[in-house]
Structure formats: C-alpha cells, structure tokens
Chain A
Amino acid sequence: MTATAENPWMAEFLSRGGPMVEFENVSIGFEGNPVLRDISFQVALGETRILLGPAGGGKSVLMKLVNGLLMPDRGRIRVFGRWLNEMNEDEIFQMRAHIGMVFQESALFDSINVEDNVAYRLEEDHVPPQEIHERVLEVLRFVDLEEAIEKFPAELSGGMRRRVSIARAIIGRPELLLYDSPTGGLDPITSSTIIELVVKQRDVSGATCLLITHRLQDAFTLATHRFNLRENRMEPIPNHRVDPGTRFLVLNEGRVVFDGTTLELTHTEDPWLREFIQ
C-alpha cells in the first residue's frame, strides 16, 4: 500500500492541485549568522526545481526546511498544502512518508546492510517481509545495484552509496523527492550515471523533485534530456527543446537571485548570474 492511499488528506491535495512546496518570506540563521534571508518561491506539482548557487549559500539548509528537519526563524513553509508551523511532530513524521530524500553524503546507516537500509521505511511501516524483499529488489534493479544487496555501506564506492541512497528514497513511492547534491564529490562518469537515474526516476514516476547541484552540466542535462524507457537510456529532447517542467532557483548569500525557467536563466542579463553560469 502506498503512503498516499493511507492518508486521505494527501489524496485530496493531489486531486485539488496547487503548489507542492511554498516558501513565504523564510529566514533562518545559526548562532547569530543569517543563512537564508526572506526566501519566497513555489514548486508546482510534477516540477523539477534545480537549486544552484555558490557553496555556503544555504541550499542544503533550504532542503532540510522543506522536510521539516529544520524550522525557520521567520516566515512559513507549506508542503502538500499544509503549513509546517501548524503541524505537530507526529503530523510532520506522517508528512515525511510522502517525501524521499537523498543526502549529500548518502547518510546510509553504516551498521546495517544495503537491503536493510533500503527496506528501512517499509520495515517501520510493518510491511510483510516477502513484499519488502520484492520491493527492495525492484528498486535496487532500478538503480542497477541488485548484486550489492548483501553488502554493507563501507564496502560500497561513493557512486554506489549514492545509488543505494536513491533506492532508499524512492522505495516508499514518494510524491516529492529531495536530492541534496547527489553528484557531489563524484567523478564525471559516475555523476552522469546518477543524473541519468534522476532523469529516469523523474520520467517514470512523474514525482516532483528539488535537486541541489554544483555542476551546471548536470543541471542542463536534466533540463535538456528525457528517459527512453524502450531503449532504457537517457536521450536529448528532440529539436533542442528543453523540459518545460524544469525550473531553476539560484541562491547567493542566502537570497534568491533567480527564479525561472531554463531559457530565462540562459538568457539572463544579470552580470553576476551570467558570470556564475559561464
């Protein structure tokens, strides 16, 4: 059973439509240092929102705010049509059942093997063991890591860990996926594999996703490619078109400096932004 079927409010929200994520004048700081300042933006249903910006700009903090792992000092955040500041802790835990998150350093549980890592959410939901095993195999096949099912995180390479992390995030069939630098620290070939997986997941499930990346080529690959299921490979969108569902949010020093489409970004007149994307 999917988490959506268990939560009537989620099914109602999906039928009603509206933005999946909405930030309204959000600010947060740590030990007196502001990290995000007056951030406002929306992510529509089915949209792929790519977060760009220099390191230390508050992108990972923003991602944790979406998932309720951090709470803003000012402003408010709405996810799936519900304001996070009006939800109690149990409701936030229920909301997280609809969100998959891939962490910057994978954040796999190092004392359990790949199967248990991927199955974690289903085991918490008391899904029957046979169904858990089948679904773990299904998602590991999706990320092409079926053979690593018995391995422990310490035995995996950086790219493999990232793929296990993606498998763990998608096993609950979430409506919203958060990727925190899924290609960070990886070599270009492995990065391409991970981005292909992100595109595949986007085009197969149609889930809304937010993705942080430091590699502009990854961002533009997401905007200009689609997944061909028949040939099981990623291919460019014909006629040099771009994916209309992909939008960009650029942060600099805790502020939004750009919020728009791929074409708007590539044709920007803003000198800082031009220098950044070049």
Chain B
Amino acid sequence: MRIFSPEAYAKSVVASVQEYSLLCARAVANIFSRPRYMADIYAQMDSIGAGSLPIVVLTGFFTGCVLALQSAVNLKVFGAVNMTGELVTLAMIKELGPVLTGLMISGRNTSGMASELGSMNVTEQLDAMRALGTDPIRKLVTPRLVATVVMVFFLTIISDACGVGGGAFVAVYMLKLNAAQFFHTGYMSLEHGDIVEGLVKPVFSGFIIATIGCYYGLRTTGGTRGVGQATTQAVVSSSVLIILVDFLVTQLMIGIFGR
C-alpha cells in the first residue's frame, strides 16, 4: 500500500500550477509571433461561437423569464413591481449573463477541448505533430484561446439581450406590465461601470475555458479512461474557476466604480 505523502502532494500541486502558468504564457505569447494559424482560429470561432449560439440564446432567454417572474412576486410585496425591468436588466448584464454564458460554454467547449486534445495525446498524434515540426501549443491551444475569448465576449452580449428580452416577455404577457416602462427603467438603471463589468467578465471566462480545457487535454494519460477523467476534471475546474474569478472581478469593479 502506498503511503500518502504531503510533500509529494504539495510538489505535484506546485508543478501543476507551474505547468498551467507556462501553458498560458506560451499560448498568449504565440499570438504576437508567427506562424499564426488563422484558418484554425476561424474554424474554432465557428465551432465555439455558432455552435454555442442555441444554448446561449435559450439559457439567456429563460433566465430572464424566471428572473422577471421571481422578482415580480417579491417586489409586489413592497408595491414595487414596476422595478422589475431595472432588476432584470441589472442582474442579467452585471452577473447572470456573463456567468451563465461562461458556465454553458464551459460545459460544452471545455469538455470538447479536453477530450479532443486528450485523445490526440493518448494516440501519439501530439507527438507526431511535434515530430513534424509543429508546436501543438501554437497550432491547437492559441487558436482555441483567441476564438474562445472573442466568441464568449459576443455570446455574452447576445445572452444579455435575450435575458432582457425574456424578462420583458414575462413582464408584458404574464405580469401585464408596460413594455416601455420595463425597458426604460432597465435602461436608466444602467451605468458605465455596469456595462464594463458585464464585458470584462466574459474575457476572463473565455480565457479560463480555453486554457483549462487545453491544459487537461495536453496532460492526459491512461488511454480512453484517462480522456474521460480529463474531460470531467476540466469541466469541474473551469466551472469553479469561472465563478471564483467572477467574484474577484465583481469585487474589483465595486472597488473601481463603487457599485
């Protein structure tokens, strides 16, 4: 029986953080040097962006619907049901739009990246790529990183719009509120800092989704079972990190903009 060694565990954690940091640094540095795999970037944008559009639209829309319903019930108690638009808009743009989009794309794409790169790793395709003179980080990781950051950014905007639209749908057709009032109170409640906060978060989410997915894929060992484990670990780590970073960015934004 192997005895648990705290020292070996600590070393392995430090080594993992070091490996992940090096991967991130190299993936980012590759953006600024040649060769650049533009075709791979566009292919990944299509896969991540267009491919994730349905889930992002549906998630955003129904989150907005639920938010309007729940908030109207509680606001009614204080006679403030006409503030539903403000609440839905602020919640969607500052918090729910970025986080839910990040989590949905993480579930769909982190697993895809980890399993694709993991399968390539266990079948020696990554070694073959290196043997053929291509750096797998440049060819596989950097295009995914660029594509994910760009597409999560735009998908979050779409999700925000769908969420506000969903909230408006419920407010008008189920709560019998005035549509103009819903949109007006929502629009008036937004400040510059809220928009910045809502657009900064997806950049971090995109970075986490791509780098975590690729990191777990590149370190996969142990055949098909290893691929399965890497995929699960990648999705779990990416989801937790997205929420953790969301908290940190929110704290930072409150510090900067005061709200």
Contact = CB atoms under 8 A, between A and B. Distances in A.
A121 B124 contact: no
Interface residue tally of chain A, by bracket? 20 to 34
Contacts of B127: 64, 69, 103, 107
A97 B133 contact: yes
Contacts of B134: 93, 120, 124
Interface in B194-252: none
Nearest to B130: A69
Interface in A74-110: 89, 93-94, 96-97, 99, 101, 103-105, 107-110
B124 A107 contact: yes
A27 interface: no
Q: Using C-beta atoms within 8 Å of the partner chain, give the interface range for chain B.
A: 10 to 19
A59 B149 CA distance: 42
A110 B123 CA distance: 10
B118 to A, nearest CB: 13
Contacts of A183: none
A64 B126 CA distance: 13
Residue picked from B35, B123, B124, B128, most chain A C-beta under 10 Å: B128
B123 A107 contact: yes
B128 A93 contact: no
B132 A124 contact: yes
Interface string B105-134: 000000000000000100111011111111
B46 to A, nearest CB: 15
A122 to B, nearest CB: 10
A96 B123 contact: no
Contacts of A69: 127, 130-131
B135 interface: yes
Contacts of B123: 105, 107, 110
A93 B127 CA distance: 12
A119 B132 CA distance: 11
Contact of A110 (B125, B129, B132): B125
Nearest to B37: A124
B132 A103 contact: no
B124 A103 contact: yes
A11 to B, nearest CB: 18
Contacts of A121: 132-133
A101 B128 CA distance: 8
Nearest to B129: A109
Nearest to B138: A93
A107 B130 contact: no
Contacts of A105: 123-124
B75 to A, nearest CB: 52
A107 B133 CA distance: 15
A213 interface: no
A61 to B, nearest CB: 12
Contacts of B125: 107-110
A109 B126 CA distance: 9
A99 B132 CA distance: 8
A199 B199 CA distance: 61
Interface in B118-167: 120, 123-125, 127-135
Nearest to B116: A111
A67 interface: yes
Contacts of A97: 133
B3 to A, nearest CB: 14
Nearest to B122: A105
Interface of A: 64, 67, 69, 89, 93-94, 96-97, 99, 101, 103-105, 107-110, 120-121, 124, 168
21 contacts: A69-B130, A89-B135, A93-B130, A93-B133, A94-B133, A96-B130, A96-B131, A96-B132, A103-B131, A104-B124, A105-B123, A107-B124, A107-B128, A108-B125, A109-B120, A109-B128, A110-B123, A110-B125, A120-B132, A120-B134, A124-B134
